[in-house]
Structure 1
Amino acid sequence: MHSFSALLRAVLLVTVTSASASSFFRIPLTKLTPPSSYLAGLPDADRTRAAFLKNFVSGGPTTVPASNLAYVQYTTSVGVGSPPTYYNLVVDTGSSNTFVGTGTKYVQTSTSIFTGEDVNVTYGSGYFSGLEYLDQVTLAPGFVITNQSIGDALSYADFEGVDGIVGVGPVILTEGTLSPSTNELIPTVMNNALSQGLIAEQILGVSFAPATSYNDTNGALTYGGIDSSLYTGEITYTPVTATYPAGYYWGVNVTDATYGSATTVIPKSTAGIVDTGTTLVLLADDFFESYLRAIPGAKIDPSTGLMTVPTKSVSEIQPLNFTIGGTVFSMDAAAQLIPIDQNTEWGLPANKQYGVVSYLGTNSGEGLDFIIGQKFMEKYYAVFDTDSNRVGFAYTEHTFTTYTP
């Protein structure tokens, strides 16, 4: 996952394929009020993460809500123990360990079993270390995983405002996180939900949307399937890339990318990752330079690390188009720009236009040349399909909107 330090992650509000209203489960959500300086280091934090990465029917899909916190990350409420203590956990497709304790402390109950293992995970500029337990985990009423590995964070950094992470990345990312069993893989919540018959398919559907408030429950996660009500048209699937290191994550190949019709940003097929734990859309430095030069007057603000766009150029912003799996997925002006009325929450100067596309910190050709983060997924439905080793995207009602400064 990403250095979770001054920023936050993904949104997820979960739903069910062919779900009725009764299939939507509600879990207690706690209003979060992180410090106002929360977002000051966002671009560097995303780049640090990038560098480090180099209905309930038995067996059916289950949907749960998630909240967009501070415009830059999504959390979902997860119960641990019996009776459960509920924790607001970041939903992270870029890591696979689940842990609690960075806010609300881990509460042991009769279902808590110490494994005898230490656990230590580094997330770019953030980390946690502590003890590993097996415990009961409640993702929704009636959706209870038994003997799920849970880390108790006794030491940590850069997790302000949240209680930990629910890791839904590939299980291989847990290798080396335990001690003394350094070669042991830790089954994720998705692995265990499948093996315990709670879901029939190891598929995670993710619905994000542009937030309209500082703590907006506007996302959805579907464990075990997809929710056809949250997207339009067909889902375009593309295989997880074989390119290292992107292939260790939810990595995909982008065939090409253009800005408008005249500027080539990504000239040929290259690999990167899809990561709910990264807020921005990051491009290899040489790709980003082509994008930046195409916007008149745009430049990197050294005090924030974000791109600034002159007011006169805002109305001329062209779509940033990614070709994935033979389909073009465009980020229009609204998708590329931070609404000015959010500047204060991001820790930015007022009345200045900033963008959400930035540079990765390395040039292309290193096997991880882009990160498709939250701001892209606020415009498209995303599917993470472990069984078929593929990632899918589909259009939503939020894909194309009108930008109002």
Structure 2
Amino acid sequence: MRRDHKKLVFAIALASFITKVQSFEDLFTHGVITVKVGAGTYSLLVDTGSSNTWMGAGEPYQPGPNSQDTGETVYVSYGDASFSGEEFTDDVTLDSLTIQGQSIGVAISSTGMRGLDGVLGLGPSGLTQGTTSGGGEIPTVIDNLFSQGTIAAHLISIAGKQISYGKTDASTFVGAITYGPITGTSPANTFWGIDGSFTYGPSGTSILATTAGIIDHSSTRTLLASDAYSTFLKLTGATTDQKTSFAVLDSCDKLESISFDFGGAIFQIPVEKYRWPADQNTVIGGDVDKCYLAVGDLGTKSGHGLDFILGYNTLKHFTVILDTGNSRVGIAKGNASLL
């Protein structure tokens, strides 16, 4: 959930760990992970677009025996959601993986969370800078899993319906992993930022030339800079539905694939992977017989340093490696059996 960017906040349920892998149920929107913090258990939004971990939006925080109030306040704004409260440290357990003394936010007030207890922040730690009254940078849960020796590598891998901590699971993808460095373009480089381009159809008509964007599993849709989104609408024949804000057509029959070029590799996004699932039309307030597309308008023109967001409805079809240790992102074609 990128700070200061509006997006839908929905939830999907995550279930049990297998060693250092956690599986989850796909409800076409976001991931929600069950996390034990102190003496309580919370349902937190899995968010690769922000980095603070916090709870208290729903279930109140129950401090554990090792809980400590740091005396600092904390505030994070996500555009259409926010929270403010106090910073504590406490033990955080991701099923079998325990982090000692993790900084957490405990909400006194929050908006826009729609039944969630809070957020599990999996973005780079730099995004925490300035979120507490002390102003410093806060190590994330992944930072601390690595620094405390709980995981062997400073990375996570998100694939289909599971998250792997500290490793890449070869069973989750087919073919090779393509890696690219974190983009040098600001402000995308403060997130899981990458450089890439989008084309449409077998003719390779450009939608968006090579530019910087980010990975964000809490964004339901893939979002394009406004000028690129206008091009996408013209190429597909879609219009923006005022009721749902989604791109919409009467039928998906004439649509063609989108191609995403990253690190010199071309990743195909077939129609069935970027259309909104028809049986979920009513979830967004849409008509049952329309074709909605999970590609939206970022709200700013290209050239501002963050021109696209690869969102959950696209990313779930790929294995994505967020590698802090090597300052890079990896993408591979997902194993269809995990979807």
TM-score range, shorter chain: over 0.9
Map of 1:238 onto structure 2: 180
- Matching residue within 245, 270, 274 for 2:215: 274
Match of 2:10 among 1, 4, 8: 8
Q: Which amino acid counterpart does residue 300 of structure 1 have in structure 2?
A: T
**Corresponding residue for residue 105 of structure 1:** 60
The yes-or-no answer on 1:384 pairing with 2:318 is: no
SS at match of 2:273: helix
- Give the direction of change, closer, same or farther, for the CA distance of 1:4–1:306 in structure 2 (3 Å limit): closer
Equivalent residue, structure 1, for 2:242: 302
CA distance in 2, matches of 1:345, 1:262: 34
Question: Which protein, 1 or 2, shows the higher relative CO under an 8 Å CA cutoff with sep ≥ 6?
Answer: 1
How do 1:87-126 residues align onto structure 2 when only pairs under 5 Å count? Answer: 87-126=42-81
Which runs of no fewer than 5 residues in structure 1 stay unpaired?
Answer: 15-23, 26-54, 56-61, 209-218
Counterparts in 2 of 1:258 and 1:247: CA distance versus 1, 3 Å: same
Q: Deviations over 1:211-252 (max 9, x none)?
A: xxxxxxxx2111111111111111111111000000000000
Q: CA deviation at 1:111?
A: 1.5
Match among 224, 232, 236 for residue 283 of structure 1: 224
Deviation at 1:65, TM superposition (A): 2.6
Q: Name the residue aligned to 1:174.
A: 128
- 2:169 matched residue in structure 1: 227
Superposed CA deviations along residues 345-404 of structure 1, whole A, max 9, x for unmatched, are 2222221111101111111111111100101112111110001111111112339x9xxx
The aligned runs of 1:212-361 (5 Å cut-off) are: 219-254=161-196, 256-262=197-203, 264-266=205-207, 268-296=209-237, 298-311=238-251, 314-361=252-299
Q: What does 1:136-155 align with in structure 2 at a 5 Å threshold?
A: 136-141=91-96, 143-155=97-109
Which residue identity does 2:314 align to in structure 1?
F
Q: Is the 8 A contact 2:159 2:334 kept in 1?
A: no
Deviation string for 1:180-239 (max 9, x for gaps)? x12x1111001111111101211110013xxxxxxxxxx211111111111111111111
Within a 5 Å distance, the mapping from 1:46-61 to structure 2 comes to: 55=19
What CA deviation, in whole Å up to 9, does each residue of 1:42-64 have, x standing for no partner?
Answer: xxxxxxxxxxxxx4xxxxxx112
- Give the Cα–Cα distance (whole angstroms) in 2 for the partners of residues 112 and 372 of structure 1: 36
Contact 1:263/1:294 (8 A) holds in 2: no
* Greater percentage in strand: 2
Q: Which residue of 2 aligns with 1:197?
A: 149
- Normalising by structure 2, we get a TM-score of 0.94
Match of 1:362 among 290, 300, 303: 300
**What is the distance in 2 between the residues matched to 1:270 and 1:80?**
39
Counterpart CA distance in 1 for 2:228 and 2:170 is 34
Question: Contact (CA 8 Å) 1:13, 1:221: kept in 2 or not?
Answer: no
1:245-304 CA-to-partner distances (Å, cap 9, x unmatched) read 0000000000x32100235334532100011111101111111122211123x1111222
The one-letter code matched in structure 1 to 2:168 is I
In 2, are the aligned partners of 1:11 and 1:374 still within 8 Å (CA)? no
Displacement of 1:11: 8.1
Contact (CA 8 Å) 2:258, 2:269: kept in 1 or not? yes
Match of 1:268, SS? strand
Partners of 2:323 and 2:170 in 1: how far apart?
15
Of 385-394 and 337-346, more deviation after overlay is shown by 337-346
Contact 1:5/1:160, CA 8 A, preserved across alignment: no
Give the fraction of aligned pairs with identical amino acids, expressed as a percent: 38
Amino acid at match of 1:163: D
The residue matched to 2:236 in structure 1 has which SS?
coil
Q: CA deviation at 1:135?
A: 0.2
- Corresponding residue number in structure 1 for 2:33: 76
Count, aligned residues: 336
2:116 alignment partner in structure 1: 162
Q: Distance in 2 between matches of 1:232 and 1:13?
A: 24
Cα distance between partner residues in 1 of 2:34 and 2:24: 7
Q: Report the alpha carbon displacement of residue 310 of structure 1 after superposing the two structures with TM.
A: 2.1
SS in 2 for 1:338: coil
Any idea what the Cα deviations from partners look like across 1:76-103, whole Å, max 9, x if unmatched? 111011xx42111111111110001111
Which residue number in structure 1 is paired with residue 88 of structure 2? Answer: 133
Give the alignment's Cα RMSD to 1 decimal: 2.0
> 3-state SS of the aligned residue for 1:273?
strand
Amino acid at match of 2:24: A
> What TM-score, normalized to structure 1?
0.79
CA distance in 2, matches of 1:11, 1:357: 23
Structure 2: gaps spanning 5 or more residues: none
